[in-house]
Amino acid sequence: MNIDNDKTPVIRALNGKLCINDVTFEHSQLRESKEYLQRIGAEEALFYPENEEELKELHAIVTLMEEQSPESSGSDALSYYLN
């Protein structure tokens, strides 16, 4: 798989952090994760949770990233779209 040109990367939670195509992002790296998705030309990102706990973990990670991001639009975010 060529991760530099992957239109559908895979997102997962890894040790409490966001991982996209095996690239791990710290909670303070929301902008970097968005730039990575743009750089690889992602059209959508896939997430395959194995259980409800993994879904909750990703939600908690995304919430932390939003809280630590200077680009955050606050708690009014309606989705996980990284515009």
What domain count does the chain have? 1
**Within a domain: 75:** no
From first CA to last CA, the distance across the chain in angstroms is: 25
- Show the tokens assigned to 50: 């194995």
**Whole-number pLDDT of residue 69:** 81
**Within a domain: 44:** yes
pTM of the model: 0.76
**Whole-number pLDDT of residue 1:** 47
User: pLDDT tens digits, the chain, 83 residues: what are they?
Assistant: 444 557 899 999 999 999 999 999 999 999 999 999 999 999 999 999 999 999 999 999 999 998 888 766 655 555 555 55
**Whole-number pLDDT of residue 6:** 76
**Within a domain: 54:** yes
